[in-house]
Amino acid sequence: MKAFEVNFDAIVGPTHNYAGLAFGNVASQKNKQSISNPRQAALEGLAKMQFLADLGVPQAVLPPPLRPDVKLLSSIYYSGDDAILLRETFQNDPALLAAVSSASAMWAANAATVSPSCDIRERRVHISPANLISQFHRSIETPTTSWTLKMIFNNVLHFYHHPPLPAHARWADEGAANHTRLCGDFGSPGLHVFVFGQRYDELISPLPKTFPARQTEKASFALARRHQLREKQTVFIQQNPEAIDAGVFHNDVAAVGNQNVFLCHEQAYLNQQQVLDEMCAKFAALTGMRLWVIEVTQDELTLQEAVQTYLFNSQIVTLPDGTMAMIAPAECETHPRARDLIERLLAAGTPIKSVHYLSVRQSMRNGGGPACLRLRVVLNEEELAATHQGVFLTDVLYHRLVDWVTRHYREELRLQDLADMKLLQESTEALEELMQILGFQKPDYIPMLRR
């Protein structure tokens, strides 16, 4: 049965802002307290989705959660009606208000880890939402993410939903941003590459000196076990602590893979040659094919330049004609060394034959490039038909979403605006309408809405 890789991109939420909450994310820290443009951010994301759909790449959308999360605020220690709650939180603990207002769910690569049915003995797609416990503002996304994924993949014959891993540092899980599946055809057995930053035991694991390592080895092992992946299907790799300190807080800032292509920086991992040899050997044994490993040297592009341009956060996608295209941030086109590197890559005879530079600048200013905005899910024809159809991007849905964003989103947002009761009302009305557009019925029962 034919299988497809579908990109599920998150729609940027109405409270997109620059609070600088993500320690270790260089762009997030650099642009802290800047004025954001939620409307532009959402339209850029939608334009990227439509561009990929026009290329023939299956594309779907994920709705954002409601922010600010006033239910969470009231559960901590604040009281009063919503207007008082927002105002007093901003006065007494502005960082908390920024955290519960974050639109960081836009980076769907962190939403979950997904294994396709062709890799699993029981032949169901396995889905594990990430606990994201390393950052408070991200950890609060998990309940809504779990609900959303269950609503979209709602057929128990085809989909198995795991709970998040325990909310403890031992099992810190950052989702697919630290997981890559390599394969021949999408519907053939694949090799799962799990990347972690630490082993949780500092005595046996070199750690970064400046920024935290977010993913643990134990979390990666647990995901592979619960998804029934066999040893011959998995590779576990530790990030280079120096890369983390350079701003590579997730693997997808230093590496990207698609089918039989793996592009990475030469300083991305510990014992890099050894683990790449293991990947190549296991991939060949599993698929009978060669794995194209493309290592970018420090001389070609430094780690700092990789973080600046997010070249490795490009999407590599397979087009209907079987060739691959690179969807790179516009910042790569304007950076001479990154642009030259991509041009050399296209001329090197690899399966990557074309590049498209797209602007997602509002997301980039917060440390998220094209690949951060999407969760990849491999589905066969039956699973595709069993998925909630209202989220698949069509020309009609695209234009409805553009109109919806234009009517509901603000052009500018400052941090003090998060305390504005009108913003909460605007966001609630926008999300209620979006649920109807996407075909989610009975909004009274949707946990992301304020009831």
What residues are labeled active site? 174, 250, 372
Sheet strand arrangement including 374-380: 59-62, 3-10, 374-380
CA distance 284 to 276: 12
For residues 363 and 18, the answer to whether their CB atoms sit within 8 Å is no
CA distance 444 to 446: 6
Helices (H), 6-135: 26-30, 38-55, 70-76, 82-92, 94-100
Query: DSSP 3-state helix, strand, coil percentages of the chain (rounded to 5)?
Result: 45, 20, 35
Instruction: Give the C-alpha distances (Å, rounded to integers) separating 274 from 134, 218, 237, 277, 278.
Output: 29, 21, 10, 5, 6
Q: Which two tokens stand for residue 74?
A: 């009231």
Region class of 132: left (phi > 0), else alpha (psi between -120 and 50), else beta? left
Give the number of other CB atoms < 10 A from CB of residue 188.
Answer: 16
CA distance 439 to 348: 45
CA distance 272 to 285: 20
Give SS3 for 232.
Answer: helix
Q: Which two tokens stand for residue 390?
A: 């209202």
DSSP string, 303-351: HHHHHHHTGGGSEEEE-TTS-EEEEEEHHHHHSHHHHHHHHHHHTTTSS
CA distance 76 to 328: 41
Q: Which residues of 423-434 are buried (b: 16+ CB within 10 A; e: fewer)?
A: bbebbbebbeeb
> HSE (CB half, 13 Å, CA atoms) of 378?
31
Scan for tokens 């600010």, then name that residue: 68
